[in-house]
């Protein structure tokens, strides 16, 4: 029997998300989340999707990622789908930063792990957790291939004129300061699905992909390759996000240091955790912001307007970068669910060939769909993202090709 199952692990700084997927039919066998790792209030939410059984919860301290992954392995084993199962083909890991060298899904060995560790200075929040996740998985199943799939990979095709900041080249190179881009697994998956929806090969279409979740990024995709993306050295650049500022004059940092006496770490925390929608109006959930707007809340209205204004600037910029655009594609939590955001982002762009059909936009649904009227020169689409499936696809394809 050829093993067809892939365990996808997404290890964050204090959480591990996982899915067990059977590539024979792309079905999910189990999904779950270990959260608040390292705290007294750790929890593990596990849901077997094959064979029923319903959700299970564990509460109580999971001391570290090792303990969390062991608990995940126990839950899977209780469902007869443990890590020792001969049906498990590979463990696929989401790794946030692959830098300039790790640009394709990669079988993990010591050299690869070292390279992911070497990149910790440019991804201090994410890469350490990713390394821990890989090491623990290796310890639990030393004989099983482990594949790393990088968030930066899709953007590594960006041309140099989009990837470089206009700063002193020697300083930039010495410290690896350049634009890497993130959410690449999502942008890759959604671009492919959008091409499918348009009935074309990815190589034939130009797309503006808007991944609007709690983190948010836009990308300009020409013929299946990334030509520009809004996140840069870190995921802070670009669009207004749930808690991140996105684009800002870098001098704001010096100003806050000099005038407000804030330390580097304090400014870092401000721009990453207390800015964006949250900083503007106290809420980072688009649903809550819309509710407040309906009640006439001015701060929520302004936060929404700033969010949309930035989004429009990126649509315009990427339209200019691409020259011709086949579709603007919305994805992730806000992009898939917020009809008002989609409508506002495209409003007034009829001269560019863009329009949204009110009814199609409001209809909702879990499938990839067009929401533009038939006359629109540039289509507008909603394409649900599925980063876990994409990681599983890429990991499985790599081991199957060996
Ligand atoms: P993600 O990071 O892709 O999981 O997206 C999470 C964000 O999506 C949340 O913070 C909300 O702002 C947004 N979101 C989720 N569901 C909805 C919805 N039904 N309407 C509007 N926004 C939503």
Give a yes or no: residue 244 inside a domain.
yes
DSSP state of 378: B
Percent share of the chain, pLDDT over 70: 100
Residues 226 and 144 in one domain: no
Residues 285 and 343 in one domain: yes
Give a yes or no: residue 189 inside a domain.
no
Residues 135 and 243 in one domain: no
Residue corresponding to tokens 């929404």: 304
Give a yes or no: residue 251 inside a domain.
yes
Does 168 qualify as catalytic in the annotation?
no
| pLDDT greater than 80 at residue 349 | yes
Mean pLDDT, rounded, for 346-365:
96
Residues 120 and 224 in one domain: no
Residues 236 and 144 in one domain: no
Residues 117 and 204 in one domain: no
Catalytic residue chosen out of the listed positions 22, 79, 151, 283 = 151
Give a yes or no: residue 140 inside a domain.
yes
The pTM for the full model equals: 0.94
Residues 117 and 37 in one domain: yes
| Count: domains in the chain | 2
Q: What is the pLDDT of residue 124?
A: 83
Mean pLDDT, rounded, for 220-244:
97
Give a yes or no: residue 400 inside a domain.
no
**CA 72-74-76 angle, 5° bins:** 70
Q: Is the CB of 303 under 6 A from ligand 1?
A: no
Q: Which of 376, 349, 350, 372 is nearest to 360 (CA)?
A: 372
Q: Which residues span the domain enclosing 220?
A: 200-387
Domain end among 111, 129, 150:
150
The CA distance from 68 to 53, in Å, is 21
Domain end among 131, 150, 169:
150
Pairing verdict, β 225-229 and 206-212: unpaired
Q: What is the DSSP string of 119-156?
A: TGGGSTTTHHHHHHHHHHHHHH-TTS-EEEEETTGGGG
The CA distance from 49 to 214, in Å, is 26
Q: Is the CB of 243 under 6 A from ligand 1?
A: no
Give a yes or no: residue 396 inside a domain.
no
Centre of ligand 1 to C-alpha 138, Å, is 34
Residues 348 and 250 in one domain: yes
Measured from the Cα of 285, ligand 1's closest atom is: 12
Q: Compute φ and ψ for 296, nearest 5 degrees.
A: 85, 20
Q: What is the dihedral of CA 119, 124, 127, 130, to 10 degrees?
A: 160
- pLDDT one-digit tens code per residue, 148-187: 999 999 999 999 999 999 999 999 999 999 999 999 999 9
Residues 210 and 145 in one domain: no
- Looking at residue 239, which CATH number applies to its domain? 3.30.420.40
Our mutation pick for probing the ligand 1 site, out of 333, 336, 337, counting the most ligand atoms within 8 A of Cβ, is 333
Centre of ligand 1 to C-alpha 80, Å, is 33
Residues 214 and 119 in one domain: no
Centre of ligand 1 to C-alpha 334, Å, is 4
* Signed CA dihedral, 290, 292, 298, 299: sign only: negative
Measured from the Cα of 286, ligand 1's closest atom is: 12
Centre of ligand 1 to C-alpha 79, Å, is 31
Q: Reduce the DSSP state of residue 57 to 3 states and report it.
A: strand
Give a yes or no: residue 183 inside a domain.
no
Q: What is the pLDDT of residue 324?
A: 98
Residues 246 and 305 in one domain: yes
Domain end among 135, 150, 165:
150
Q: For atom 19 of ligand 1, which residue has the closest CA?
A: 337
pLDDT band for 47, please (50, 70, 90 cuts).
very high
Q: Is the CB of 286 under 6 A from ligand 1?
A: yes
Measured from the Cα of 211, ligand 1's closest atom is: 3
Residues 257 and 323 in one domain: yes
Measured from the Cα of 341, ligand 1's closest atom is: 21
């Amino acid at each position: 029997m050829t093993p067809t199952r892939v365990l996808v692990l997404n290890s964050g700084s204090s959480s591990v998300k996982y899915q067990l997927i059977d590539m024979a039919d792309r079905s999910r066998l189990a999904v779950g989340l270990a959260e608040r790792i390292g705290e007294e209030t750790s929890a593990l939410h596990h849901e077997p999707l094959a064979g029923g059984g319903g959700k299970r919860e564990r509460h109580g301290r999971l001391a570290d990622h090792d303990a969390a992954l062991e608990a995940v392995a126990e839950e899977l084993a209780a469902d007869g789908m443990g890590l020792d199962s001969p049906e498990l083909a590979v463990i696929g890991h989401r790794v946030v930063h692959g830098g300039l060298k790790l640009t394709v899904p990669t079988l993990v060995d010591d050299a690869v792990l070292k390279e992911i560790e070497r990149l910790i200075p440019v991804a201090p929040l994410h890469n350490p957790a990713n390394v821990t996740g890989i090491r623990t998985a290796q310890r639990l199943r030393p004989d099983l291939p482990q594949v790393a799939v990088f968030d930066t990979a899709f953007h590594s095709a960006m041309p140099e004129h989009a990837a470089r900041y206009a700063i002193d080249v020697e300083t930039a190179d010495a410290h690896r300061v350049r634009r890497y881009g993130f959410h690449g697994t999502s942008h890759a998956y959604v671009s492919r699905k959008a091409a499918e929806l348009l009935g074309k090969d990815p190589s034939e279409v130009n797309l503006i992909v808007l991944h609007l979740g709690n983190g948010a990024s836009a990308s300009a995709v020409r013929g299946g390759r990334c030509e520009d993306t809004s996140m840069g050295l870190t995921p802070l650049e670009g669009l207004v996000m749930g808690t991140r500022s996105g684009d800002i004059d870098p001098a704001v940092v010096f100003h806050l240091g000099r005038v407000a006496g804030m330390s580097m770490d304090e400014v870092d925390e401000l721009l990453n955790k207390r800015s964006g929608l949250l900083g503007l109006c106290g809420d980072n959930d688009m649903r809550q912001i819309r509710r407040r707007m309906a009640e006439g809340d001015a701060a929520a209205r302004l936060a929404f307007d700033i969010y949309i204004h930035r989004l429009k600037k990126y649509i315009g910029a990427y339209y200019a970068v691409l020259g011709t655009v086949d579709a603007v594609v919305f994805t992730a939590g806000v992009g898939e669910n917020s009809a008002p955001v989609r409508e506002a982002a495209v409003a007034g762009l009829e001269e560019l060939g863009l329009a949204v059909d009110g009814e199609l936009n409001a209809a909702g649904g879990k499938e990839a769909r067009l929401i533009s009227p038939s006359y629109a020169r540039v289509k507008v689409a909603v394409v649900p993202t599925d980063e876990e499936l994409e990681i599983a696809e890429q990991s499985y394809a790599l081991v199957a090709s060996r």
